[in-house]
Amino acid sequence: MGHIGAAVLGAVFNLNHPAHTVDWHFIHLSVANVVVIGLMFVAFFAALLLPFPGASRRRGGDS
């Protein structure tokens, strides 16, 4: 699995080059870290907006 997995992932993500970065004034971030930060924003707003299972029943029920 190790060699096969590495070969498959290597075909999808070409890592044989210097890291891509985002540069703006003193800010210097790798694209990988920018993607993670973007996913954190997505998770944050999804957590605020998506309904929680059973939330409406609990609020309307035994209060």
Partner 1 sequence: MSATPTTPGTAPAGPDMHSWTVKVREAGVEALPPEKLLPDGQPTYVASWIYMFGVASIASLIVIITSGSILALKGPAWWHDTSIGHFFNSIHMWGVELFFFVMVVHLWGKYWMAAWRGGRTRVWITGAIIFLVAVPTALTGYVSQQNFDAQWIATQAKDGLNSVGVGAFFNVTNFGQMYSWHILLLPVAVVLLVSAHVLLVRTHGVVPPFELEKRPEFAAAADGAPAPDGAAGAEGQS
Minimum distance from CB of 7 to partner 1 (Å)? 15
Minimum distance from CB of 57 to partner 1 (Å)? 9
Q: How far apart are CA 62 and CA 40, in angstroms?
A: 34
Binding site residues, partner 1, CB under 8 A: 1-2, 36, 39-40, 43-44, 46-48, 50, 52, 54-55, 58-59, 61-63
CA-based R_g, the chain, Å: 21
Q: Is 49 exposed, middle or buried (CB count within 10 Å of its CB: 0-12, 13-18, 19+)? A: exposed
Minimum distance from CB of 39 to partner 1 (Å)? 7
